[in-house]
Structure 1
Amino acid sequence: MIRTSLLTIHILSGATGMLLGAFVMWRDSRLLRGGPVRTVSGRVYLVAVLVVCLSAAVLCAWFRHDLWWLVPVAAASYALAWLGRHAAAHRFRHWSHAYVHGQGGSYIALTTALIVVALTVDGPVGGAWQLLPWLLPTAIGTPLLEVWRRRLIPAAVAPVVRAPTRARR
């Protein structure tokens, strides 16, 4: 009963993160042009990733001790999501690197987890091929994140050109 409830929470929060992640990154790309971003959807994404990570840690601790090494991976995934949201809200030096690789890295982690579970845990992929679901999301996603970051920077940091104002007499 407890395991089923935890799995349900884990799956629902993971699905929420997967659905919201792409939307949040797309929306933030538009909003970041105007300054720091603090959105409800971004906060919901961050909470979804936190719940996924916490439920994964509890599931590992109680039911799958052999997967203990996923707990630090889950913590790093949440840290990436937090870094992305923090960078979008505060715009510190090199914020675009932190935002894109934090937000995008956490989404890659969610994608990797989904693909690994779907293909390797009682799935059709076995043997040496089981390594591919772990590596492909990062190998494909990281270059895409860098392209996104390079497109985001000119749009987000371009100076606002204003028409000259006349002095009043």
Structure 2
Amino acid sequence: MHAVVLVIHVVAGSLGLLVGPAAMLAPKRAGRHPLLGRSYQVLTGALCLSAFGLVAYRPSLWWLGVIGALTWAAALAGWWVRRAAFRGWVVWHINLMCSSYISFVTAFLVVNLGLGSPVAWILPTAVGTPLIARATVRALRAPAPRSAQPPREVPTP
């Protein structure tokens, strides 16, 4: 059973590492972006749940469960703010979804470069944070998406 959980974890993580940038680069309109976003959510959920499964087999990997839970929490919160569409949701959506991806990359590097590697722990955030800031600034300068604009008031006679 451990092998099955590990395969699910590796597949979900690998596909999440591919789907994340595809969603980020897809045009932000109906079609590809929401489809890739839903796929990313499913993969993030599978990654988190399989991380808990791996922790059950080896409790010393407790940090894997924490990273998995925080990654999924950020991705779910990013999805939720889009659905809520409150004022300023775009900035929150970008920051939460991209932060969950930074977590994906960090976990990948930590597992492959070793738990003690400072590069694995620092590099994804050092590279990702300026990219998130750039995307946020670009989103603030762009016209608001239709769904984010307040509804027009209907004049009363």
* Range class of TM-score, shorter chain: 0.7 to 0.9
Which residue is 1:99 aligned to?
93
Query: Take 1:22 and 1:88, find their aligned partners in 2: how far apart are those partners?
Result: 18
What is the aligned counterpart of 2:40 among 33, 39, 45?
Answer: 45
2:69 paired with 1:75: yes
Q: 1:112: Cα distance to partner?
A: 0.7
Q: Does structure 2 conserve the Cα–Cα contact (< 8 Å) formed by 1:38 and 1:89? A: no
Q: Which amino acid in the other structure matches residue 139 of structure 2?
A: L
Note if 1:16 corresponds to 2:15.
yes
**Per-residue CA distance 1:69-114 (angstroms, 9 max, x = gap):** 3322211110111122222333212212211111101110111111
Alpha-carbon distance, 1:154 to partner: 2.1
CA distance, structure 1, for counterparts of residue 130 and residue 33 of structure 2: 26
Q: Work out whether residues 53 and 74 of structure 1, in 8 Å CA contact, stay in contact via their aligned partners in 2.
A: yes
Residue deviations 1:9-62, cap 9 Å, x none?
1011111111100011112xx325x8xx97222111101001001101110122
Partners of 2:145 and 2:9 in 1: CA distance = 41
Structure 2: gaps (5+ residues): 147-157
Q: Which has the larger radius of gyration?
A: 1
Letter in 1 for 2:7: T
- Structure with greater contact order relative to length (CA < 8 Å, sep ≥ 6): 1
Deviations 1:114-161 (A, max 9, x none): 11111116xxxx6xxx122111101211111011111122224289xx
Q: Which runs of 5+ in 1 are unaligned?
A: 160-169
Q: Which residues in structure 2 correspond to 1:1-169 (within 5 Å)?
A: 2-27=1-26, 30-31=27-28, 39-62=34-57, 64-120=58-114, 130-157=117-144
CA contact (8 A) 2:109 2:120 kept: yes
Contact conserved, 2:48 with 2:68, CA < 8 A, in 1? yes
Paired residue type of 2:56: A
TM superposition outliers: structure 1 runs of 4+ over 6 Å = none
The 1:19–1:38 alpha-carbon spacing in structure 2 relative to 1, beyond 3 Å, is closer
Superposed CA RMSD in Å reads 2.2
The normalised TM-score by structure 2 is: 0.83
Over the matched positions of the two proteins, sequence identity in percent amounts to 34
